[in-house]
Each structure stands twice: as C-alpha cells, then as structure tokens.
Amino acid sequence: MSGIIDKIVNFFKSHHDLHIKRNVITYGVCLIIATVLWFLNTLNKEYTTELTYPIRYTDLPKGKLLVSEPPKNMTLEIRAHGFTLLRYSIGTSFLPIAINVSSLLERKDMLEYTISTVDIKERISAQLNSDIKLINIKPETITFQFSQFGSKKVPVIPRVDYTLKRQYMLKNDISVTPDHVDISGPATILDTLKGVYTTPLKLKDLSKEVTKSVSFEEIPGTQISESGAKVKVEVERFTEAKKKATIKVKNLPDSLLIRLFPQNIDFTFDIGLSRYESVSDTSFSFSVDYDQIASNPAALKISVDKQPAHIKSLVLMPESVEYLIEKKK
C-alpha cells in the first residue's frame, strides 16, 4: 500500500516541478519581449548628445606652411533619434570631418586667419547623416597661422659611429650620396640651417667597404627633396711608416741665426697600403716658431705644418728641440 502512495506522490511532484519550469521559461520570454519593446521604444525617442570627431584639414594653400597647431578634434552637439545615433555611432564614429582650408581664406596672401566654426556649420552638417541635426560646435574658432615657404640647397652630413678591426683604417672620408639636398620650409628655419643630418648609423669591426641606406633626421616644418641617402665607408689595411725631415724656423729676424739640436726630426705614422708608395718626406713639413723664445723656454715645441690627409697616429721624435741663438756677422 505504501508503495502505491509513494508512486502517487512522486507523480504529482514531477508534474509540479514541470509546471514551475514552464512558468520560469514563460516569465523569461515575457521579460525578453518587454526588454526589446522598451529598447525599441527608447531608440525611437529623440536625444541631444555630444560626439567627438577627428578633423582632417585639406587643400592647404600652396607655397605656405601651416605653423600653428589647429585642433585635431571637434565636439559636435547634435540631436537625432536613438536609432540614428546607434547606427551612426557604430558605422562612422571615426570618420574625420574635412575642412577645406584654402576655400576659407579671404585672400591667398594671408598668413594668419581665424574662422568661426558657426560660419562653417552648414559645411560640417552636410558631412553628417541627413537624420542628424547639428546644434552647436566646439571649439568656437579655429586659427590658422602660415609661413612663407622657402627653399635652399644644403649639405648632407652623415652620422656614423664605427669601429675598425685591428690593423684597419679609413681609406677615404666617409661619403654620402647625394651629398646635397634641397630643403623647403619657413624662412625662419632655413636661415639658420647649415645642413641635413642622416639618422645615426652604427657599424662594428669593419674590415671591408660598407654601403648603407639611411633616412634623414626629421626637421619639423620642412620638406626634403630626397627620402634618404646612401652612406659609404671604405676601409683598408694599414702599415707603419718611418721618415725624416728638416725642421724649419719661422719668424726669425734677419739679424740672427739659430741652431737647433737636433736639426732633423724622425717621425712615424700609420698609412693605408694603397697610399704607402705615394707618400714621401716632402709630404710633411715641420717647424719651430722663434716667437716662442719671448717666454724663454728651454726647448722649442715642434709644429706640424703639413701632412697627408689620410694618415693617422703621427708620432714626432723628438717633440721639441733645444736651440742656440747667434748674431749674424
């Protein structure tokens, strides 16, 4: 008997649970429908809001450079239905507002001009969806400041940080192609500009010729005729050379004689193998200056008057000489 009762209880209990589940589902469906209807009703209403748009400035006057920084964004106060705002925000919120600068100038020779955004309200409104009403614009004004464009030819200055392998030296000066470029920009910048630098180039342990393409360091407000340059670094092995030369005397009065001890100088230097045979004793010139004697030194310092361009590590032996002064008979 108790088994039959348990079955009856379980039957009514399962039907009761099923009834509760059906009620929950029904309630959920009704809630979703009500939410959708509320959302649709909300979107159908008209709203006033502010949206921020980027600005793109087009058709800048030829021969002039914009030196001011007009705003990059503008805030538009608009009125539209919720559907329109949602659709427009999702689809075009990042499209810039285009402002044709040349069309706003009263005269083409103007170097400074301030516009009221109210005056271009219709132009901006035309770039919006027809369902959107433009109410107000921020900022209220935009100022354009221009500078006359000039042009000049300047040298290209390579910036190279390098190291060489042992027993190697530069064969020639570091070269750059092109070695000059035309640069355009405001006269205030061009007047003080001595050259255009390449971006820094680092080279390590060089033992052979290297050619690298580099760009130019940016000079704000200017335009360079070339997009970049090629830097060439030539290296070669070197050897040590030793030579001898006679020391000359400068500024010696005609009434005096001077004897130097020693009269000749030995010197060593490093030179590239390709130029070793072309360098002779006459490629160098050394001297002492009689005017040094005014300070009564014990010895006169030797000066280098002439030396080849492509040598390094020049060592003089000795670096100064003793002297004896005599009057001419």
Q: Is the pTM of this model over 0.75?
A: no
Q: Are residues 158 and 122 in the same domain?
A: no
Question: Which of these, 161, 158, 84, 76, lies nearest to 120 by C-alpha position?
Answer: 76
Q: What's 272's domain CATH number?
A: 2.170.120.30
- CA gap 186, 149 in Å, rounded: 5
Q: What pLDDT does 38 receive?
A: 52
Q: Are residues 228 and 248 in the same domain?
A: no
Domain boundary among 85, 109, 139: 139
Q: Are residues 157 and 209 in the same domain?
A: yes
How high does pLDDT run on average in the chain? 84
Q: What percent of the chain has pLDDT over 70?
A: 82
Q: Are residues 79 and 163 in the same domain?
A: no
Q: Containing domain of residue 74, as a range?
A: 47-139
Q: Are residues 188 and 256 in the same domain?
A: no
Domain presence at residue 70: yes
Q: What are the pLDDT digits (tens) for 200-215?
A: 999 999 999 999 999 9
Domain presence at residue 214: yes
Domain boundary among 207, 233, 259: 233
Q: What are the pLDDT digits (tens) for 308-326?
A: 988 999 999 999 999 999 9
Domain presence at residue 10: yes
Q: What are the pLDDT digits (tens) for 112-170?
A: 888 888 888 888 888 877 777 888 889 999 998 887 778 899 999 999 999 999 999 99
Domain boundary among 178, 206, 233: 233
The number of domains in the chain is 4
Domain presence at residue 221: yes
Q: Are residues 228 and 244 in the same domain?
A: no
Domain presence at residue 95: yes
Domain presence at residue 59: yes
Q: Are residues 207 and 251 in the same domain?
A: no
Q: What are the pLDDT digits (tens) for 48-77?
A: 888 788 888 888 887 777 778 899 998 888
Q: Are residues 81 and 57 in the same domain?
A: yes
Q: Are residues 58 and 126 in the same domain?
A: yes
Q: How far is CA 225 from CA 60, 151, 154, 289, 314, in A?
A: 19, 10, 11, 50, 41
Q: What's 159's domain CATH number?
A: 2.170.120.40
**Both tokens assigned to 60:** 């800048």
pLDDT, mean of residues 7-24:
54
Domain presence at residue 122: yes
34-43, 185-194, 316-325: segment of lowest average pLDDT? 34-43
Q: Are residues 252 and 186 in the same domain?
A: no
Q: What pLDDT does 9 receive?
A: 47
Q: Are residues 229 and 247 in the same domain?
A: no
Domain presence at residue 145: no
